[in-house]
Amino acid sequence: MYVCLCHGLNDRQVRAAIDEGQAGSAAEVYRHYSCKPQCGKCVSTVHDMVRAAQSPA
Ligand code: FES
C-alpha cells in the first residue's frame, strides 16, 4: 500500500526504515529516503506508523 504518493513510498519501506532503527520520527523516515513531504497528506500516516512501532505491544 502506498503511504506517500508524491515519493512513491509504500508501507513496507516506511516500516523497514523504522524497524532498522533508521527513523525514530516521521521527519527521519523522509530523510532516510532522501525526500521531504511535498503535499503533506502522508505525514500523519507516517507519524502514526512511527508511534505505533514505538509503543509497547
Ligand atoms: Fe507524501 Fe504527498 S503523499 S508528500
Which CATH number do you get for residue 9? 1.10.10.1100
Q: Tell me, what DSSP letter sits at residue 24?
A: S
The Cα angle at residue 38 between residues 31 and 22, in degrees rounded to 5: 15
Full domain range(s) for residue 30: 2-54
Output phi, psi for 3, to 5 deg: -95, -45
Q: Is the CB of 35 under 6 A from ligand 1?
A: no
* Residues in the chain with pLDDT values less than 70: 57
Is the CB of 14 within 6 Å of ligand 1? no
Ligand 1 centre and the CA of 41: distance in Å? 5
pLDDT at residue 55, rounded to an integer: 86
pLDDT at 56: 79
Measured CA to CA, the distance from residue 50 to residue 4 in angstroms comes to 14
Domain count, the chain: 1
Kindly tell me the burial class for residue 35, based on how many C-beta atoms sit within 10 Å of its own C-beta (0-12, 13-18, 19 or more): middle
Mean pLDDT in the chain? Answer: 96
CA dist., res. 54 & res. 36, Å (int): 22
